[in-house]
Each structure stands twice: as structure tokens, then as C-alpha cells.
Amino acid sequence: MQKTYLVSPFFAKKGLSKYASEAGVRFLLSHWSYIRVSKKIYKYVGPDIIDLAFKKEGYLGFKFSYPKDYNDPYELFLTIDFGDDPEIAAFYNEIVQEIQQYPTTCFSNSPIVTPMWAHYAHNSKGFVIEIDEDMLKGHIESASIGDVTYQDAPREELAVTFQMAHRRGKPRDIMFLRNGVQSAAYFTKHSCWSYESERRLVVSDSEVSNIDGNMISFIPTECVTAIISGPRTKAEYIIKGKELSDTIETRYFEAKIGKSNSKPYFIGQDSGTYIFDGNNIVEAINSCCSCNEPVGEYKEFCLWCSITEDDQENAAFGNPLRAFSDVGMLEGYIKGFNSIGKKT
């Protein structure tokens, strides 16, 4: 009898049936390197946004904004250092004038940025949507996407371009300057935002639709490669996330915060432990037999789950405050200790 193997919905839509043959699994493994190395980007959203984002059947909607509406009011000023020279400022204003406004939306290069979970996913109660960047670009013709550069001063490389344009005044120098400033304005932020590890998508106005006063662009759900619930996502939203991942046939993970490492890890629908390796979400080499937190290759338990009763008894025996507690003196000792150095 031929063996069959259970295949996740994510791989099923790549060409394998739900129960794949051994040959089918070999095909999957031969293509696994391609699946893994494809660039992924991550959108952090609140719990109430997940339904709205997938409201249009078969599509995922992203909200776009113009640069003038960004959360950092200084983003468009990190281009040229004008000093105190009004002539330079006047020339810049004449050539560049105002930065042209294009619809822009923001992603992160990582699904484990704790401040992003706090700020954009409602204090870890929301979701992260993993997107295949190549597939996204294949569905948006005018897409311009790139990493944000973080700095606190204008870009030095633009100074040379500006000087040439100012000194020579040739049309090609002027165009190089305009294009350079345009790019810098869209892909530069102050260093205080560097924790976001931001990657921006800029499109033309024709790629967005006005939905209830918001600029929305839709991409097919086949671009979605995972839905991730947060460490504090409520049960009702977790159910929604799982149902949604089943509907669009993609992977589903729950983000977890362990005791041994500050970086979140993930539990998949197969109950396996997964980590973010800097590029993709991959299965952990090893995990704790008790709590599932990722651990070293040859460890059975994480640090905290490896504590034995003997360890606890020894720790208690070596704690002098327990002796005070046993004879009813602990409260008085703490009060006296905390009063040392205080004025009466």
C-alpha cells in the first residue's frame, strides 16, 4: 500500500493534495529552498482590523496614506542640508518644490518586533499578516518597495548631486537631484524609529480605491503566506484567525513570549515550535518538552522547566528571609530595612 502524508493547506495550494504521496513530498522538499528564501514582509494590525482587511472575498486590503500624513513630521526634511544659506534653500525650492505625494503603506521586515506588537497590534492583542513580497509586486504594476534608512541628518550622497545641479545647472543634473530627493523623502526616517525595521510600499494613485474615505489597495489572498495571532490575542479573535487561515489556505501561528528569551516564538497548527530566523519563520531545531519554548539542540527542557523540587528546596533553605518569616519577624525587618537612610 502506498504511503501518504498529511500536507498543510499552505503547501496544498502549491500543487500538492491534502494527502500527498511520497513522490509529492519529495517534490515539496526539492522546492522548499525556494519557498523559504522568498522575501517576506509583515503587516501588524489590531484585532478589529483583521475582518476589515479580508472583507473583500479573495483579497487582502491595505490602507495607504500620503507622506504628508505620516506619523513622523520630519521624514521629508532628511534630504538636503541647507545650512543658513537662503540662496541654496531658494534653489532647492525652485527645483524640487514640494515632494510629489504618492500612496504609501508600511510593513516590517520582522514579525518579532515587540514595540510593533505593542503599538500597531494593540498591545499584542492583534495580528501580524505575512506577505510574499514577490507575489505582491507581481499584482501591483507600479509598486516601488524598499527598506527605510534611519538617520538624524540629511543624506550625504545627495549633497554631491545637489552641488552639481546648483553649479552646472544642466537638465540631467536637475533630474538626478529631483529623483534623488524624491527617493530619500520616501525611504528615510529619524533613527528613533529604527526599531520598526520598516519596509515601504509606494504605488500610483491608480492602484488605490477610495473606500469610506480611505485609500485602499487590494491584493489576492494567495500573497498571504501566514496569519499570526499575538501573545495576548483574545480567544474569540484567535478562532477568527484560524478560520481565516483555513479559508484562504495559508499557515497560522500563535506568537508566544517565553521565560528564557525576550524574542517571541511561534506555535503552529501542527503544535510544532517555530522561530523567526531573520528571513523566514522556520521550525525550531529543538523545543522544551514541557512548555514548547525553543531550546538548544541537545536540551530536553528550558531553564525554568528544568528546575527540580530539590532545586526549589535548596533555594528556600538558602533564603535568610524565610527564617525571619518563620518566627514572625519578616514584616518588621523589611520595614526597618526600608527606613534606613530616610529622614524621620
Q: What is the pLDDT of residues 20-52, one digit of tens each?
A: 555 555 555 544 444 456 899 999 999 999 999
Report CA torsion sign: 23, 24, 25, 26.
positive
Distance CA 112, CA 344 (A): 49
Provide the pairing of β-strand 214-220 with 224-229: unpaired
**How high is the pLDDT of residue 92?**
75
Q: Please report, for residues 14, 130, 264, 316, the alpha-carbon distance to residue 242 in angstroms, rounded to integers and kept in the order given.
A: 20, 14, 19, 44
Q: Please report, for residues 62, 102, 202, 221, the alpha-carbon distance to residue 208 in angstroms, rounded to integers and kept in the order given.
A: 9, 10, 11, 17
**How high is the pLDDT of residue 125?**
94
What are 267-286's pLDDT values in tens digits?
999 999 999 999 899 999 99
- Contact 150/191 with Cβ under 8 angstroms? yes
**How high is the pLDDT of residue 29?**
52
Distance CA 297, CA 293 (A): 12
**How high is the pLDDT of residue 86?**
85
**How high is the pLDDT of residue 137?**
92
- Please tell me whether residue 300 adopts helix, strand or coil conformation: coil
**How high is the pLDDT of residue 165?**
82
In the predicted structure, residue 233 carries a pLDDT above the cut 50 = yes
**CB neighbours of residue 323 within 10 Å:** 12
Cell representation of residue 282: 522556520
115 or 180: which leads in pLDDT? 115
Distance CA 255, CA 124 (A): 9
In the predicted structure, residue 185 carries a pLDDT above the cut 60 = yes
Mean pLDDT of 175-199: 87
As a whole-number percent, the residues of the chain with pLDDT over 70 amount to 84
**How high is the pLDDT of residue 97?**
67
**How high is the pLDDT of residue 99?**
75
- Contact 256/274 with Cβ under 8 angstroms? no
Cell representation of residue 97: 518644490
Confidence of residue 75 (pLDDT cuts 50, 70, 90): low
Strand partners, 108: 42, 198
Cα Dmax for the chain: 89
Distance CA 139, CA 224 (A): 13
The lowest-confidence range among 109-118, 183-192, 235-244 is 183-192
Mean pLDDT of 185-209: 91
* H or E element in which residue 45 lies: strand 40-45
Single-letter amino acid code for the residue at 293: E
Confidence of residue 200 (pLDDT cuts 50, 70, 90): very high
* Angle in degrees, CA 315, 317, 318, rounded to 5: 65
In the predicted structure, residue 134 carries a pLDDT above the cut 50 = yes
Distance CA 194, CA 202 (A): 19
**CB neighbours of residue 5 within 10 Å:** 13
| Half-sphere exposure at residue 233, Cβ-oriented, CA atoms within 13 angstroms | 29
**How high is the pLDDT of residue 78?**
60
249 or 260: which leads in pLDDT? 249
Q: Report DSSP state, residue 86.
A: H
- Contact 102/202 with Cβ under 8 angstroms? yes
CA dihedral 206, 207, 213, 219 (to 10 degrees): 160
